[in-house]
Chain A
């Protein structure tokens, strides 16, 4: 079983991946502002020798261009890259331009859409875009996607709940991002909501479950101190 850790571009901080993690998930499934710039991606390439998975969110045309630039960089470097895709337009790009040069994993947002597709259509979809695994953080989604026979990449300790494109950290549209959320998670509590919400990037999460033995890969995501403490308490 592979162990991965997720960092947005700014949170990577000089390539210090804790021991035991063989894969680095770079970027974000929930905000295009947290995608690495080509220079940042190149620096990560130099600093980290393990596998790299590029996490990508829903993308506007500008975001799509940004990811295209990163794909070109990786193609030139010859380095193996996995792309975690959540956007249909990106899947089209990867299918037509990348011609199988990159491994494609189905991101958590996209998995929520595939789970409600009729099975035959979903099988065609998975084959058309050469999806190799599902990123998940919810056991019920795993159950629904199990018939497709792909592996699961399990994200812990938080579970996705919702997403915005209007940045909750900076109160402006996310494409003008100053990355003030980088490496941060903020708990949100209300007596009228049964559990704590966690804000990370442009998404809100609830408490999820710990690592799963049945997963092909476990991704510790995101790792700030408060969330790490939560994970430690669960372990204890």
Chain B
């Protein structure tokens, strides 16, 4: 299982490449990707620097364009992608089937990873995207290994990528979530203070929190994804560099255990000892709460 890591600078790229990342990906500010501006690079030249670093170490670089692309931006986006491809960009991470179809109609050839945000949950949906020429599918975060056979065992030549859910998990289906949060909503002219999905609620049953699977389930799921043939594990971008590096090292540690042939019992036991707050991943450090 190879490790795909999101980066925000050449310095981060060098760190991850030196520590065993097989692939890097990044986004461009204003370049239609699903992360906060500070998690992106400022200019195409920054991407080119990362491509040079990766090429020197034989690694690949992807550009994330994992938002819906307005039609008016198709042509400018294509120009940027074509230039970056000439400089060595290996592939794209896309979410929007309309944009992908448009690129393919213009004979734009590039390795394409279909973003987890596309929510491709079954074999027939995968066949739809296969016709658009995808090369890899990032499984929906709320996909369980029991239901992932359509992707892991596909005969369409499509590679698969997963999240390590024990370290990174979203309680709701993120591309269909319209709850207010600091990334999407405002309250009195300021960013909404809270991630609604993480708050305690009062209910007829007492305190209610939006639930997630237990850590032991998640460790078992990662074990099953690995042995089921998932080719890549993703370490997503994070505004806090140290926390992301910590997560990367934990993922690498777990993958090394699997590569050494750890039994399920040993693997789960070792994973449960890791300090992990998967729901805080990408959240706690994206904003500062408003003080009264």
Interface residues of chain A, those whose CB is within 8 Å of chain B, are 58-64, 87-90, 92-93, 109, 112, 116-122, 160-168, 171-173, 175, 186-190, 192-194, 197, 199, 204
Question: In the complex, which of the residues B68, B124, B143 contacts A117, with contact meaning CB atoms closer than 8 Å?
Answer: B68
Is there an interface contact between B203 and A166, defined as CB atoms closer than 8 Å? no
Minimum CB distance partner of A117 in chain B: B98
**Contacting pair B68 A193 (CB below 8 A):** no
Instruction: Find out whether the CB atom of B124 lies under 8 angstroms from the CB atom of A64.
Output: yes
7 A-B contacts, Cβ less than 8 Å apart?
A162-B176, A173-B213, A186-B208, A188-B201, A188-B203, A190-B200, A194-B180
Interface: B204 (CB within 8 A) = yes
Q: Among the listed stretches B52-60, B115-123, B228-236, B274-282, which one makes contact with chain A, having 4 or more residues with CB under 8 Å of it?
A: B115-123
Is A166's CB under 8 angstroms from B125's CB? no
Interface size on B, residues (CB 8 A): 48
Nearest-Cβ distance from residue B148 to partner chain A, whole angstroms: 9
Task: Tell me which of A61, A160, A194 has the highest count of chain B C-beta atoms within 10 A of its own C-beta.
Answer: A61
Beta-carbon contact of A197 and B201 below 8 Å: yes
Say if the beta carbon of B1 comes within 8 Å of chain A.
Answer: no
Kindly state the separation between the CA atoms of A116 and B118 in the bound complex, as whole angstroms: 13
Are B171 and A160 neighbours in the complex by a CB distance under 8 Å?
A: no
Known contacts A89-B122, A164-B172, then 7 further A-B pairs from the complex at CB < 8 Å, ordered by chain A residue: A58-B173, A60-B122, A64-B122, A87-B125, A88-B120, A112-B176, A204-B210
Contacts of A197 in B (CB 8 A): 179, 196, 201
Question: Which residues B168-227 have CB closer than 8 A to chain A?
Answer: 171-173, 176-180, 187, 193-194, 196-197, 199-205, 208, 210-213
For B201, the closest partner residue in chain A by CB is: A188
A24 to B150, CA, bound (A): 33
The smallest C-beta distance from A161 to any residue of chain B, in angstroms, reads 5
Establish whether residues B203 and A121, one from each chain, have CB atoms under 8 Å apart when the complex forms: no
B150 to A, closest residue via Cβ: A61
Is B110 in the interface zone, CB < 8 Å from A? no
Mark out the residues of chain B between 101 and 144 whose CB falls within 8 Å of any chain A CB in the assembled complex: 101, 119-128, 142-144
Specify which chain B residues have a CB less than 8 angstroms from the CB of A122 in the assembled complex.
98
CB <8 Å contact, B196 and A164: no
A164 B179 Cβ-Cβ under 8 A: no
Nearest A residue (CB) for B71: A118
For the complex, what is the distance from the CA of A197 to the CA of B213, rounded to whole Å?
21
**In the assembled complex, B30 has its CB within 8 A of some CB on chain A:** no
Q: Does B261 contact A (CB under 8 A)?
A: no
Taken together as a complex, chains A and B put the C-alpha atoms of A63 and B98 apart, in Å, by 26
Residue of A118, A167, A171, A186 with most partner-chain B CB within 10 A:
A118
Q: Quick check: is B37 within 8 A (CB to CB) of the other chain?
A: no
**Residue B76 at the A interface, CB < 8 A?**
no
B interface, over-half SS: loop
B149 near A61 with CB under 8 A, answer yes
B4 to chain A, nearest CB (A): 23
CB within 8 Å of A: which residues of B? 68, 70-71, 97-98, 101, 119-128, 142-144, 146-147, 149-150, 171-173, 176-180, 187, 193-194, 196-197, 199-205, 208, 210-213
Contact yes or no, A90 B124, CB < 8 A: yes
B210/A164 in contact, CB under 8 A: yes
For B187, list chain A residues within 8 Å (CB): 194
Knowing A60-B122, A61-B149 touch, does A192 contact B199 (C-beta < 8 A)?
yes
Are B147 and A60 in contact (CB-based, < 8 A)? Answer: yes
Task: Assess whether B176 is in contact with A163, with CB atoms less than 8 Å apart.
Answer: yes
Please determine whether B202 and A189 come into contact, CB atoms closer than 8 angstroms: yes
**Least Cβ–Cβ distance between A207 and chain B, in angstroms:** 14
Are A168 and B125 closer than 8 Å at their CB atoms?
no
A89–B124 touching, CB < 8 Å: yes
If the complex has contacts A161-B179, A193-B180, are A186 and B197 also in contact, measured as CB distance less than 8 A? no
- Once bound together, how far apart are the Cα atoms of A167 and B24, in whole Å? 34
Q: Which of A62, A112, A193, A194 contacts B147 (CB 8 A)?
A: A62
Nearest 10 A-B pairs (CB), nearest first?
A89-B124, A121-B98, A89-B125, A188-B201, A60-B147, A89-B122, A162-B177, A165-B142, A92-B124, A118-B71
Asked if A88 contacts B98 (CB within 8 A), the reply is: no
Known: A164-B171, A188-B203, A190-B200. A58 touches B121 (CB 8 A): yes
The 8 Å CB contact of B142, one of A93, A164, A199, is A164
Are A186 and B203 interface neighbours, CB within 8 A? yes
CB distance from A81 to the nearest CB of B (A): 19
Complex contact A89–B147 (CB within 8 A): no
Partner of A189, one of B98, B123, B178, B201: B201
Distance A192 CA – B289 CA, assembled complex (angstroms): 12
The residues of B that contact A165 with a CB separation of less than 8 Å are 142, 173
Q: Within 8 Å CB of A87, what residues of B?
A: 121-122, 125
Contact of A188 among B123, B125, B208 (CB under 8 A): B208
A173 to B128, CA, bound (A): 26
Known: A58-B119, A59-B121, A165-B173. A186 touches B202 (CB 8 A): no
